[in-house]
Structure 1
């Protein structure tokens, strides 16, 4: 039996799926809700969102991600700890066992697109055994119209089976969990994890591989919004730096919150939804995102819920600090429905500096922008991972190393060319600590970060005076409306100035050591930034 058979495009037989039971083909949200409840996958909350648990994995299984090492991609992949090679024969054996596992099983299929640009979008198919993972795919990718579903032929297919586990000794995996990309066969297989974020990030990896090489398009781990005058701003940043929060501005229209391409016409969203971190989310600080947690169609991952009243507690981190909400981008009231905008006028690079020594905002030269893009700095704080008792510097090149299949210099070169061509203003924004490191100082107020970003985007800061930081060489504004002047220069906020100087010098040295790996790929001016 097939449900929604009228919308069926290319059949499942070409994927090797021949004996499935019920096939739910691109079902609407209401059908998926029914199946989520019927199958015991989640609970409907009191205002209509659905609450689910991801089990053992509450985040990405970074060490379990592989790329099949085959002739079409071998010379292009930046092999290493992030992009681990996988044997093609082992892949085939694992794939065949997955197909056997699906015999007699109910499955859910979502035919959709990755990329809002009609010129550059990638047709995608997501096949999964969980109804809520199908809803996740429906939320996160660009939905196909009824006409587009007819004859839909996927460019890449994700086969996601959380309850299927690998046998490392047989399959060549590290553990029972795996996320494996096969560029030659245009398929991604996922097993042993119920964390839905693996689906979207796998497709992001695909776009990061295809677009720069095939079309000269810069793929970016960033959010983007646009003002009333058509001015586009791009926000680079790792998890926890405020990328989603600062781009969801009531005064500007959201293009997208996590992944974008930058082509000859401007920026375009890769996705059709948002995947926001929501621990300690408040109505006052982030009203638009807060309201999405109370909407039909939103998935709340690992959020605590009272099973009697069905009310959720967004401050409860009992399951994980990485609580998430997946929702269609149209849940945000002020969005660009087309998912596209012009060329950026401002680029904001976000960091969460737990050492408390970077300024809350600084204007970057083009060379500094290249340096910080390749560095991709943020900091882990005590308590976030086992063994971390004090702040630790974390560098993730291009602000998204786990998803960048090509060498970082490929993305950096494209970014540098586009910054120069379109005369983009670049900024470094620290949403981390002020007045001391984590445990001593305090986290920068969201209101201050918003005021600083707004002043950068509307030109207020560029028109004012700056002073040069002696450690990082950054240009710090002397004044900003709505932000106390003493906050702007981080050294002024520390009681122990000598300790600040020592900490700043230590972070500079960390930057230098990390950047040694990129010096041969950049100009002398970029290499000499620090």
Structure 2
């Protein structure tokens, strides 16, 4: 479609001089370097900084409320804006982009399954952000590009700052989605993740209405075709734990689950790079190649990236194509999952490192979406904060939570999927006292789960949370599996665990529609 808002057709913007449509990575890097948008690293990646916005700004994200969305979007979790505000900002952004010396256009797709993909075009002010889109969305073939007709358009103008007093925004930054006009406006923020997540939000609106479960999760596939899903918010380990050498990576963040199986919504990965090393995360490290975009990663004079530098933000990122991942599954589609892993970074340090879930417990954990917001993933978050994010992705889920929960429950029952809760957060005490769970232990526990090694292992039922904890796991000390055994003071553990259990109960009041079976699958302690 050719989006038109207030008689300003996108075709006019694309027809202006110095508009580059799907230029190769080399051209985009040349443009970015000549305009001083970033620097080149020793391996050919482009390192950029994103100004004061080094993470998502959820308070600046809005959906247009109109006759098409008023009764569909959950307005208790999503912010509304009027069509009048949207149209006025559209006009300003349109003219702003028209006045720039160059525009960079990406035409491609969201959704690796051709039956369920969305044709998108992103019009960028900056060359590096267009390179970002080239890495993270699905690029068309020459024939597909020739016949490409966008279903949705993103106008990205980070240099345009809104005036809240006259533009109806909360701040200078804004992310506004109009389902009716099939247009997304992103302005005032340079953080590339806003483009990626706004498209994901659109898919989360459209796919469930086709009966397809849309998910904020990573996915991989074993050599026997067994698929695993990893749910979790940013920083909980989705990318790290799904990108392993003995399994093929389907995708690291956004997926759909149809009657045919799982498909990636993206064409790339957006991995956190803080303290990245070749030894600990070789798949991610080696995927950072020519064309990769590094966000807020400082570069040494010899052009080597400093992955340990966190003064700008803990939320340093690498955006790279799946085609640079040695073990990626291309095209990124797989069968129905055999296992689901819910990842949580428990800042209280009381949840077990792995537990086996009943179907009812799986639904309870999915609706609760307990984790900790980690430093840098959102503006203002400097230390881990306990939070509940419905469906492990509330900021990107426009429809009521029950829509996603019912679809997931239906798929779990239909395909007899095993489910696990994995704590990648703290052990031996809360944040500031305990320590982060060792990655090697987490990897081994997940490996055991996916290989069926817990099938005949005796479990212990957590007296507070009701979770089923395996007594043993190969290569993991037994005491690590039982969280209360890692604390110096058992009474303090008990007090802290009950405090978290109460938070679960309070949060679950948001789901009065949940069945008694699901409600009773929560923590036992009141």
Partner in structure 2 of residue 361 of structure 1: 354
Tell me the alpha carbon deviations over residues 253-294 of structure 1, each in whole angstroms, 9 at most, x when there is no partner: 00000000000011000000000011011211111101223x
Tell me the alpha carbon deviations over residues 454-501 of structure 1, each in whole angstroms, 9 at most, x when there is no partner: 000000012211110000000000111010111111111112111111
| Stretch moving more, 506-515 or 278-287 | 278-287
Partner in structure 2 of residue 133 of structure 1: 129
For residues 176-187 of structure 1, the aligned pairs below 5 Å read 176-187=172-183
The alpha-carbon deviation at position 47 of structure 1 amounts to 1.7
The alpha-carbon deviation at position 17 of structure 1 amounts to 3.6
Distance in 2, Cα, partners of 1:528 & 1:183: 37
Distance in 2, Cα, partners of 1:278 & 1:145: 30
Question: Which of 282, 303, 327 is equivalent to 2:297?
Answer: 303
Partner in structure 2 of residue 67 of structure 1: 63
Q: Could you say what secondary structure the match of 1:221 adopts?
A: strand
CA RMSD of aligned residues (A): 1.8
The alpha-carbon deviation at position 14 of structure 1 amounts to 2.6
Distance in 1, Cα, partners of 2:91 & 2:168: 14
Is there any run of 5+ residues in structure 2 with no aligned partner, and where?
A: none
Distance in 1, Cα, partners of 2:305 & 2:391: 35
Partner in structure 2 of residue 193 of structure 1: 189
Partner in structure 2 of residue 113 of structure 1: 109
Q: Is residue 16–residue 99 contact of structure 1 (8 Å, CA) maintained in 2?
A: no
Q: Is residue 55–residue 377 contact of structure 2 (8 Å, CA) maintained in 1?
A: no
Partner in structure 2 of residue 408 of structure 1: 401
Q: Could you say what secondary structure the match of 1:158 adopts?
A: strand
Q: Could you say what secondary structure the match of 2:412 adopts?
A: helix
Distance in 2, Cα, partners of 1:385 & 1:345: 32
When normalised by structure 2's length, the TM-score is 0.95
Q: Is residue 393–residue 510 contact of structure 1 (8 Å, CA) maintained in 2?
A: no
Question: Which of 374, 391, 399 is equivalent to 2:392?
Answer: 399
Partner in structure 2 of residue 223 of structure 1: 218
For residues 77-476 of structure 1, the aligned pairs below 5 Å read 77-80=73-76, 82-105=77-100, 106-213=102-209, 215-293=210-288, 295-306=289-300, 308-380=301-373, 392-476=385-469
The alpha-carbon deviation at position 379 of structure 1 amounts to 2.2
Distance in 1, Cα, partners of 2:513 & 2:138: 35
Distance in 1, Cα, partners of 2:243 & 2:24: 27
Q: Is residue 226–residue 232 contact of structure 1 (8 Å, CA) maintained in 2?
A: yes
Q: Is residue 287–residue 325 contact of structure 2 (8 Å, CA) maintained in 1?
A: yes
Is there any run of 5+ residues in structure 1 with no aligned partner, and where?
A: 1-8
Tell me the alpha carbon deviations over residues 37-85 of structure 1, each in whole angstroms, 9 at most, x when there is no partner: 11111111112111001011000111110111110111000013x4111
Distance in 2, Cα, partners of 1:143 & 1:102: 23
Q: Could you say what secondary structure the match of 1:75 adopts?
A: coil
| Stretch moving more, 315-324 or 373-382 | 373-382
Q: In structure 2, do the counterparts of structure 1 residues 392 and 469 end up closer, same or farther at CA, with 3 Å as the change threshold?
A: same
Q: In structure 2, do the counterparts of structure 1 residues 38 and 385 end up closer, same or farther at CA, with 3 Å as the change threshold?
A: closer
Tell me the alpha carbon deviations over residues 177-201 of structure 1, each in whole angstroms, 9 at most, x when there is no partner: 1100000000001110100111110
Figure out how many residues of one structure are paired with residues of the other and give that number. 517
The alpha-carbon deviation at position 374 of structure 1 amounts to 0.6
Q: Is residue 350–residue 484 contact of structure 2 (8 Å, CA) maintained in 1?
A: yes
Q: Is residue 254–residue 336 contact of structure 1 (8 Å, CA) maintained in 2?
A: yes
Q: Could you say what secondary structure the match of 2:98 adopts?
A: coil
Q: Is residue 17–residue 99 contact of structure 1 (8 Å, CA) maintained in 2?
A: no
Q: Could you say what secondary structure the match of 1:67 adopts?
A: strand
The alpha-carbon deviation at position 387 of structure 1 amounts to 9.1
Partner in structure 2 of residue 3 of structure 1: none
Tell me the alpha carbon deviations over residues 139-188 of structure 1, each in whole angstroms, 9 at most, x when there is no partner: 10111000001121111000000101112122111111110000000000
Q: Is residue 3–residue 153 contact of structure 2 (8 Å, CA) maintained in 1?
A: no
Distance in 1, Cα, partners of 2:124 & 2:369: 33
The alpha-carbon deviation at position 104 of structure 1 amounts to 3.8
Distance in 2, Cα, partners of 1:32 & 1:483: 47
Structure 2 residue 517 is matched with structure 1 residue 525: yes
For residues 462-501 of structure 1, the aligned pairs below 5 Å read 462-501=455-494
When normalised by structure 1's length, the TM-score is 0.95
Q: In structure 2, do the counterparts of structure 1 residues 211 and 280 end up closer, same or farther at CA, with 3 Å as the change threshold?
A: same
Distance in 1, Cα, partners of 2:200 & 2:245: 27
Distance in 2, Cα, partners of 1:68 & 1:127: 20
Tell me the alpha carbon deviations over residues 189-230 of structure 1, each in whole angstroms, 9 at most, x when there is no partner: 1110100111110000000000101x1000000000000110
Q: In structure 2, do the counterparts of structure 1 residues 381 and 76 end up closer, same or farther at CA, with 3 Å as the change threshold?
A: closer
Q: Could you say what secondary structure the match of 2:452 adopts?
A: coil
Q: In structure 2, do the counterparts of structure 1 residues 495 and 381 end up closer, same or farther at CA, with 3 Å as the change threshold?
A: farther
The alpha-carbon deviation at position 383 of structure 1 amounts to 9.9
Distance in 1, Cα, partners of 2:381 & 2:249: 35
Distance in 1, Cα, partners of 2:382 & 2:202: 36
Distance in 1, Cα, partners of 2:47 & 2:304: 10
Q: In structure 2, do the counterparts of structure 1 residues 135 and 304 end up closer, same or farther at CA, with 3 Å as the change threshold?
A: same
